[in-house]
Amino acid sequence: MTQAIAASLDLAARITAKIDQGELTPGTRLPEVALAEELGVSRNTLREAFRVLMQDGLVDHIPNRGVFVHTFTKSDVEDIYAYRAFIEVAAIRSARKNPQLLEQSLGVMREAYERGAAANAVGDWQTVGSANSAFHLAIVDLAGVARLSADARKVLALARIGFMATYNVETFHSIYVEKNHQILKYLAAGEFEEAEQYLQKYFEDSRDDLSAHLPEF
């Protein structure tokens, strides 16, 4: 991998993190000159990062207008939730095979849940959303496949765009804090089948809830 490619991929990851943390919201224009200066990179590197982000579906290029954070619609929902359900349920299924990795991921999940619960108590919805993403990434990490975790991080950032597009972000995130806690309790107790079933229903409810608050196209 050349230095230029590595730099653009690293920058794409930094911008993805900003989206996942709620710093860049749906429809936000990403001005090339200002953003390159803010991030301390060349405009060429930023353009290459934009290409990566466009391939991942995180930003859209609109001719004669510029690059914008993707605006989530119902057409995005089914694909993302099918992916998340398949990957995260399979990761839980594999967790019992690697107790050391399970214990490590449980620690990350526990920290993410506690951070989300504390933020939920004071109405810090941006932190609640970021903690939710961290919790679910830790579930994917149960599979022990680095490339899978890297791809899931992008999908979770795209899902975060959808969450931010709902008319009531506070209510949407708040109800999932304790749902995450229930998954954590199942896994800590070694109740893997219960965790799988609960997570499957969790995703069905979340998908329907999100879809109900989004435009058709």
185 or 13, which is more confident?
Answer: 185
Average pLDDT value for residue range 207-217: 75
Give the angle subtended at the CA of 57 by the CAs of 55 and 61, to the nearest 5°. Answer: 80
Q: What are phi and psi of 68, to 5 degrees?
A: -130, 150
Q: Is the pTM of the predicted complex or chain greater than 0.85?
A: no
pLDDT band at 130 (very low <50, low <70, confident <90, very high): confident
- The sign of the CA dihedral 119, 123, 126, 132 is positive
Measured distance CA(154)–CA(150) in Å, rounded: 7
**Counting every residue, how long is the chain?**
217
| Average pLDDT of every residue of the chain | 88
Give the angle subtended at the CA of 112 by the CAs of 192 and 58, to the nearest 5°. Answer: 95
Average pLDDT value for residue range 160-185: 79
- 201 CB-near residues (< 8 Å, 6+ apart): none
Most confident stretch, 51-60, 107-116, 165-174: 107-116
Measured distance CA(114)–CA(41) in Å, rounded: 35
Three-state secondary structure readout of the chain: CCHHHHHHHHHHHHHHHHHHCCCCCCCCECCHHHHHHHHCCCHHHHHHHHHHHHHCCCEEEECCCEEEECCCCHHHHHHHHHHHHHHHHHHHHHHCCCHHHHHHHHHHHHHHHHHHHHHHHHCCHHHHHHHHHHHHHHHHHCCCCHHHHHHHHHHHHHHHHHHHHCCCHHHHHHHHHHHHHHHHHHHHCCCHHHHHHHHHHHHHHHHHHHHHCCCCC
Q: Would the pLDDT of 127 be above 60? A: yes
Average pLDDT value for residue range 22-45: 89
Q: Would the pLDDT of 55 be above 80? A: yes
Cβ 26 vs Cβ 165: under 8 Å: yes
What pLDDT shows up at residue 170? 58
State what percent of residues in the chain have pLDDT above 70.
94
Cβ 8 vs Cβ 52: under 8 Å: yes
What pLDDT shows up at residue 76? 83
pLDDT band at 168 (very low <50, low <70, confident <90, very high): low
CB atoms within 10 A of CB 103: 11
What pLDDT shows up at residue 111? 97
173 or 138, which is more confident?
Answer: 138
What pLDDT shows up at residue 216? 62
> Tokens 């058709």 belong to which residue?
216
Give the angle subtended at the CA of 112 by the CAs of 106 and 113, to the nearest 5°. Answer: 85
